[in-house]
Amino acid sequence: MNVKRLRRVYSKAALVTVLSSILVTPGCLQTTTKSFEFETKQQRDKRMKWWRQARFGMFIHWGLYAIPAGQWKDKEIRGIGEWIMNNAQIPVAEYEQFAKQFNPVKFDADQWVRIAKNAGMKYIVITSKHHDGFCLWDSKVTDYDIMDAAPFKRDILKELSVACKKHGIRLCFYHSIMDWHHPDAQGPHYPTYNTGRKKNPNFSRYVENYMKPQIKELITNYGPLGVLWFDGEWIPEWTEPQGRDLYSFVRGLQGDIIVNNRVGKGRKGMQGLTKEGYFAGDFGTPEQEIPPMGLSGVDWETCMTMNDTWGFKSYDENWKSTEDLLRKLVDIVSKGGNFLLNVGPTAEGLIPEPSVERLRAMGEWLKVNGESIYATTANPIGELAWGRCTAKPGKLYLHVFDWPVDGKLEVAGVKDKIKKAYLLADRKTKLSVTQNEDTTIVSVPYKNLNTIDTVVVLEI
């Protein structure tokens, strides 16, 4: 949220507080959905608390597109796998046929959640419905879902909600506003569903009679949810007032839910942060990128793929290394953001092995160094040539990517007196520190404990 919007919300909050004390009893105020937009900073901080502490989540893109897996009529289709219906210009009636083949017998919700948990992830965002319109839960307003159209006949989201509760992971849903299947949405825009120009005149009927009832099902039958993560909001049919209305609708169904900024029209392209002015949504959503600098007082989350697709593609082997992924997590957290890292399970229901391996390795590092990630805040001391910095009250965590060959770690920008220094992975060994006006030198062992990121803790 930007400063202007904050001010506006505060002044509205003050006004509502005054009015409500005059006009209505506190009990009545809670029943109006509109009041949610007028929360105080304290109320907002309370609502955002778990999310700001979590820092690391799993994105899951799963749906019918896992069946073609990037291939259509013996041709490899360029682009992200979950866009194949649009990119290969597949007619609705033909794409629907995939539903009859969707039988992911190896799907094990408990195992997926354990993979996320062992990776050190605190929440899962799964595609309840992507742009192709196919629904992974038993929806009462359509037959185009896992229970009615597919042989699998198991409610995937229900099984995940049970497993998430069991393992203490927050369940969240990605939900596409754009819908290439629905006749009142982008279905008739075939052959290019994502035209950017055509408008379906019946779109508000889709919103009121289909999308909102579905969102109500998701929140009431699968909640409480952590986040509703909207997408596909760039279609010309969607407007900011509709976004605000949807935001209020969602918060009205679950007061403490968190909603991303793609609910309305506030996002700045793929950089994802929210534009100046009054826009709905609680956090910015950079996609496949990390903002170049820290952004204090702004909530944001970078979402990213491990290879070059969100939905499974059988021939995409362009995996980022564990080193790259882990340093990206640290870079994001040092700038005050969250990292939502994607997996694209196969049509059989398996998370690809290269993803599992990388997640396991990230989890191992986090088991030792998690204190320097969870519930930390952005770097308070300025850029560091050899790595990154995260902070907690009384502590600085120096994430050393490039270990000093001479054993002298130079740290500029520390104003406070350092009381104690040690490696997070070896708390017993005290490190000696010499402190001048602007530069601090920490004497570290000649060899690092971890070649990807060894964390030095300074207690101040």
Beta carbons of 66 and 348 less than 8 angstroms apart: no
- State the minimum distance, in angstroms, from the CB of residue 36 to ligand H79: 25
- State the minimum distance, in angstroms, from the CB of residue 99 to ligand H79: 19
Among 217, 237, 287, 299, binds ligand H79 (CB under 6 A): 287
Write out the binding residues for ligand H79, residues 212-271 only, by CB under 6 A. Answer: 231, 234, 269-270
Write out the binding residues for ligand H79, residues 57-86 only, by CB under 6 A. Answer: 80, 82-83
User: Between 234 and 319, whose beta carbon lies closer to ligand H79?
Assistant: 234
- State the minimum distance, in angstroms, from the CB of residue 33 to ligand H79: 27
- State the minimum distance, in angstroms, from the CB of residue 227 to ligand H79: 13
User: Between 234 and 374, whose beta carbon lies closer to ligand H79?
Assistant: 234
Residues 6+ apart with CB under 8 A from 224: 254, 256, 257
Residues 6+ apart with CB under 8 A from 177: 211, 230, 231, 232, 233, 235, 238, 246, 262
User: Between 343 and 391, whose beta carbon lies closer to ligand H79?
Assistant: 343
User: Between 285 and 322, whose beta carbon lies closer to ligand H79?
Assistant: 285
For ligand H79, the nearest residue by Cβ is: 234
Beta carbons of 169 and 117 less than 8 angstroms apart: yes
Give the 3-state secondary structure of 257-316: CEEEHHHCCCECHHHCCECCCCCCCCEECCECCCCCCCCCCCCEEEEECCCCCCCCCCCC
User: Between 280 and 411, whose beta carbon lies closer to ligand H79?
Assistant: 280
User: Between 51 and 401, whose beta carbon lies closer to ligand H79?
Assistant: 51
How many residues make up the chain in this entry? 460
Residue 303 as a binder of ligand H79 (CB under 6 A): the answer is: yes
- State the minimum distance, in angstroms, from the CB of residue 96 to ligand H79: 19
Distance CA 178, CA 123 (A): 24
- State the minimum distance, in angstroms, from the CB of residue 270 to ligand H79: 5
- State the minimum distance, in angstroms, from the CB of residue 266 to ligand H79: 12
Write out the binding residues for ligand H79, residues 129-188 only, by CB under 6 A. Answer: none
Q: How many residues bind ligand H79 (CB under 6 A)?
A: 10
User: Between 212 and 268, whose beta carbon lies closer to ligand H79?
Assistant: 268
| Residues making contact with ligand H79 (CB under 6 A) | 80, 82-83, 231, 234, 269-270, 287, 303, 310
